[in-house]
Amino acid sequence: MSGGSNQRTLFQTWGASVSQNKAVQSGKDARKATGKSDIIQNNHATGQSFDSSSADVWIYPTNYPIRDYQLKMSEASLFQNTLVCLPTGLGKTFIASVVMYNFYRWYPAGKIVFMAPTKPLVAQQIEACYKVMGIPQDHMAELTGSTAAKQRQEVWKSKRVFFLTPQVMVNDLSRETCPAKEIKCVVIDEAHKALGNHAYCQVIRQLSSQTLQFRVLALSATPGGDTKSVQSVISNLLISHIELRSEESPDIQAHSHQRSVEKVVVPLGEKLSGHQARYLQDRFLQIKFYRLIFAADFYPDEHFDSKFKVKKSIYKNVIL
């Protein structure tokens, strides 16, 4: 068992009163607890959504090295719609896994969604999330556009944790294949894309038109190029809290990767070298042309006829 500092009580939830139980449970112990399908069945049978007994605590895996910034970000993300801005390689998926697992526990009849903009990213996140928190694989599903709509409808009914692209989510919400009111946690990877009418924005709009009882966790290494873009992401994803770290932040310095830059000069090859030579020749002639025109412009007015002939000759012989 791990130390008590690695376990936090649930101090806020939707309409539930929870105790300040200081029970402790490690990530490895949590894997054993997730297989209790009778809890899920009982909640389905009674119509209960929130499991107040599991909500006494939130679980953080102690079978991994504990990084303070990940612990703080995970805790904040459980209780507020949070935009996590963290450089690549510093554990955004780990934080997402912690948040997803706790909502998986708290809402035994609820659904958790992880969205990524491309199919390869979607597939990558399934394995990563399973390794961190150990949600049973038979409770998880990857949904793609190539899966028949009727089959996806059955998957939405039988599974609890879904990995998919936002466009698939939009389609299933529009067809009412996805049970919007059962969604309790939405994780959005590459959240900086949530601008304008992007599919991410459509998902949040469609969900919030039916329920506001869901948590949003947005992940990004680069939240936006300017203040306006960042504000748009915040508004579009209903963000109420930001956790921001840069490579210079003191609490991630020990975990930052040092960059090793190696300069590799690649020869152009015969074909590209020919293009390069022609390009440079064209540029040279163009520069020469403008220099001669510039010089001609300084001829005295009485030599206007000569100046005109000079320009005409330059254009004919240099440009054409």
3-state secondary structure of 179: coil
3-state secondary structure of 141: strand
The pLDDT value given to residue 279 = 80
Phi-psi region at 249: left, alpha or beta (left = phi > 0; alpha = psi -120 to 50): beta
How crowded is residue 116: how many other Cβ atoms within 10 Å of its Cβ?
A: 21
The pLDDT value given to residue 306 = 59
- H-only helix segments in the chain: 27-33, 37-46, 68-79, 92-106, 119-133, 149-158, 166-174, 199-208, 227-236, 269-296, 304-314
Instruction: Decide if 132 contacts 94 (C-beta within 8 A).
Output: yes
Q: Number of H helices and number of E strands within the chain?
A: 11, 9
Sheet holding 161-164, edge to edge: 140-143, 161-164, 111-115, 183-188, 215-220, 82-85, 241-244
DSSP assigned state of 319: I
pLDDT tens figures, 129-186: 788 877 888 899 999 888 888 899 999 999 999 999 999 999 999 999 999 999 999 9
The pLDDT value given to residue 62 = 83
Which tokens hold the place of 301?
């007015």
Give pTM, 2 decimals. Answer: 0.67
The pLDDT value given to residue 25 = 41
Cβ neighbours of residue 153 closer than 8 Å, sequence gap 6 or more: 172, 177
Amino acid at 178: C
Going residue by residue through the chain (320 aa), what tens digit of pLDDT does each one get? 333 333 333 443 444 433 333 333 444 444 333 333 333 334 443 334 787 777 778 989 888 888 988 999 999 999 999 999 998 888 899 999 999 999 999 999 999 999 999 888 888 888 877 888 778 888 999 998 888 888 999 999 999 999 999 999 999 999 999 999 999 999 999 999 999 999 999 999 999 999 989 999 999 988 777 889 999 999 999 999 999 887 777 777 677 766 677 888 888 888 888 878 888 877 777 776 666 666 655 555 545 455 566 656 655 555 54
The pLDDT value given to residue 144 = 85
Which tokens hold the place of 264?
């590799």
Amino acid at 211: T
> From residue 83, how far is each of 211, 219, 304 by CA, in Å?
20, 6, 68
The pLDDT value given to residue 141 = 92
Q: d(Cα 172, Cα 266) in Å, to the nearest integer?
A: 48
Instruction: Decide if 231 contacts 242 (C-beta within 8 A).
Output: no
Cβ neighbours of residue 126 closer than 8 Å, sequence gap 6 or more: 140, 142, 163
Q: d(Cα 315, Cα 320) in Å, to the nearest integer?
A: 7
Q: d(Cα 178, Cα 60) in Å, to the nearest integer?
A: 29
